[in-house]
Chains A and B, each alone.
Chain A
Amino acid sequence: MTHGQWTRRDFFRRSAVLGTAAVAGPTLLAACQSTESGDTLTSAQNSRTIRIGIANEAPYGFADTSGNTTGEAPEVARAALRGIGIDTVQANVVPFDQLIPALNAKQFDIVAAGMNITPTRCNAALFSNPDYSALTALLVPSGNPQGVNTLADVAAKNVRLAVLSAAVEKGFATAAGVPESNIETLDTQDNMLRAVTAGRVYAAALTDISLKWLVKQNPNSGVEVTPGFQPTQNGQPVQTAGGFVFRKDDGSLRDAFNGQLTALHANGEWLRIATPFGFDQSNLPPADLTTAKLCAA
C-alpha cells in the first residue's frame, strides 16, 4: 500500500470526524445538563415550575383515563408547592424502584408517590415530614379460599406472594417468615393485580388504600382486599408512614415544603384533597411519628 492510500483514508476519516462532531456535539450538549449552580428551590421558584416523579400507583400518584396526573401525593404536592410560589407541576412516570435513583439522577426534583420512610431510603435521600399513615393489606382471590389474612398466614399456608420491587412489603414478608422462593417481586401495581387474577401468586401485599382502590377500579376481576393490619418486625408492630422525597442537597426545598405540608395537615386542606382518593382521618400521621424517628428505626 502506498503512502497515498493512507492519505486518502485519512482525508475521509477527517471528514467523518467532523461529521461526528457536527452531529454528536450539539446533541450531547443538549442532552447533558450539568449540575445546576443555583439550588433547586430558587430555580423552581424563578421558573414557577418543578418536576415530580410518580410510579403510576393508584391512588398515590397515577395517570387517569384522560392521561392527567393525579393522586393523593401529586395533589397534596401541588397544593404545598403553590404555597411556596411554584404553580406548575410536571410529572415523570418511572417504575417504583427507579424513583430514588431517578431523583438522584436529577430526572425530577421531588418524589410524590407515597413512599414509606425507611432507614435505607433515608441514607439515599431526604424525606419530608410524614404525609400519611396506612395499614398493610393483602389482595386475594374473591372469597379468600385459603383464609389468608396476614403475612404470617401467607408464611403458614405456604402460598406465593407478590410484592412491589423496592417497596417495604418485601421486608415485612420475610420478617413474617415468608420464604424468598415464595415471593415474586414485580415492578408495577398493575402487574401485581394481574399476577393474582392469573393465579401466578395467591396474594399481593401493598397498603390497604392502594389495594382498595385497585378493587374499586377493577370490579369484575375476582379479587378482594383483606382487612388492613400492622406488619410486625422483630415481634413488634410497626407503624409506617409515607412522605415526599428530595435529594440530599435540597434541604432548603424540603424545609419550605414541610412548612406548607404541616399547614395543610393542620387546617383540614389535606383531608379535603385526600378524601376522594380513599384516605380519611385515620390516615393522618400521628403527631409523635417524626421523620427522624422513622429514619433511625
Chain B
Amino acid sequence: MTWNWDYVWESIPLLLEGLLVTLELTVVGSLLAYVLGLVFALIRRARIPVLSQLMYLFIEVVRSTPLLIQVFIIFYLLWPALHITPSAFVTGVIALGIHYATYTAEVYRAGIEAVPKGQWEAATALSLPRQRVWTGVILPQAVPRVVPALGNYMISMFKETPLLISIGVLDVLNRAKEQGAETFQVLEPYTLAGILFLLISYPSSILVRRLERRVGQL
C-alpha cells in the first residue's frame, strides 16, 4: 500500500466538510458544558435537601461511565420515550454538553473553594445581597482561575467527538470512513483525519498552556 497524493487532494474537501461539523459540535457542546457545569456546581453547593444529593449521584454516574453509552441512551432510549426526534448532531451536542458539564462542575467547585474565606466574610460584613455576593465578588475571582482548565476540556471534547459516528454524525472521521468504504483505500483518509486533529489541538493546547501561565500570575 503506497501513499497516493491524488487521492489525498480528492479527499480533502470532504474531510474539511466533516471538520466543520466537528468544530461546530465542539464549540456548541463546550458552551453548553460551561453553562450547565456552573448550574450543577451551584446546585451541589446550595445543599438543597434532595436535589443536591441527586445532583451528586448524577454527576458521579455520568463522570464514571462511558460517553458512548450515554449517547446511545439519549438517542435510542430517551428520544423515543419523549416522542421527539432531534438530529444526531443535536443529540451529540447535548450528550457532550451534559457529560462535560460534570467535569466542569468539579472545576468550578475547586475554583469557588479557592476563593479566600475572607472574601465571603467581607461580603457579609458589607451586607451585600446573596446574588451580589456571587456575581460581584465570588465568581469574578473564581472563574478566571479555572479558565485554563475549561479550555483544556474544550480541547478534550474536540478529540472525543468522533465517537459520535456511532449515531451517524457526519464529522471528519465519518467522512474519512465514507471515503475509505467507497474506494477500499483507508490509509490516506484516516491519516489525514489524524493530522487534521493534531493541526487544531496542538496549537490550542499551547495557547491554553500560555493562558495557564498568565493565570498563575494572577
Whether the complex brings A and B within 8 Å at their CB atoms is answered: yes
Check if B168 sits within 8 Å of A185, measured CB to CB.
Answer: yes
Complex Cα distance, B167 from A187, in Å, reads: 9
Check if A101 sits within 8 Å of B184, measured CB to CB.
Answer: yes
Contact with A97, one of B80, B177, B183 (Cβ below 8 angstroms): B177
Q: Which residues of A contact B181 (CB under 8 A)?
A: 97, 165-166
Check if B184 sits within 8 Å of A194, measured CB to CB.
Answer: no
Q: A198-B85, A199-B85 are in contact. Are A100 and B184 (CB under 8 A)?
A: yes
**Count of A-B contacts judged by CB separation below 8 Å:** 29
Q: How many Å from the CB of A55 to the closest CB on chain B?
A: 13
Check if A187 sits within 8 Å of B168, measured CB to CB.
Answer: yes
Contact with A along B143-185 (1 / 0, CB 8 A): 0000000000000000000000000100000000110111110
Contact with B along A178-207 (1 / 0, CB 8 A): 000000111100010010001110000000
Contact of A267 with B by CB under 8 A = no
Q: Which residues of A contact B180 (CB under 8 A)?
A: 101
Check if A120 sits within 8 Å of B79, measured CB to CB.
Answer: no
Q: How many Å from the CB of A286 to the closest CB on chain B?
A: 28
Contact of A123 with B by CB under 8 A = yes
Q: Which residues of A contact B85 (CB under 8 A)?
A: 198-200
How big is chain B's contact interface, by range? 10 to 19
Complex Cα distance, B183 from A100, in Å, reads: 11
Contact of B76 with A by CB under 8 A = yes
Query: Which B residue sits closest to A186, measured CB to CB?
Result: B168
How big is chain A's contact interface, by range? 10 to 19
Identify the A interface with B (CB < 8 A). Answer: 97, 100-101, 120, 123-124, 165-166, 184-187, 191, 194, 198-200
Q: 29 A-B pairs, CB-CB below 8 angstroms? A: A97-B177, A97-B181, A100-B184, A101-B180, A101-B184, A101-B186, A120-B182, A120-B183, A120-B184, A123-B184, A124-B184, A165-B178, A165-B181, A166-B181, A166-B182, A184-B168, A185-B168, A185-B178, A186-B168, A187-B168, A191-B168, A194-B76, A194-B80, A198-B79, A198-B80, A198-B85, A199-B85, A200-B85, A200-B87
Identify the B interface with A (CB < 8 A). Answer: 76, 79-80, 85, 87, 168, 177-178, 180-184, 186
Given contacts A120-B183, A200-B87, 19 further A-B contacts (CB under 8 A): A97-B181, A100-B184, A101-B180, A101-B184, A101-B186, A120-B182, A120-B184, A123-B184, A165-B178, A166-B181, A166-B182, A184-B168, A186-B168, A187-B168, A194-B76, A194-B80, A198-B79, A198-B85, A199-B85
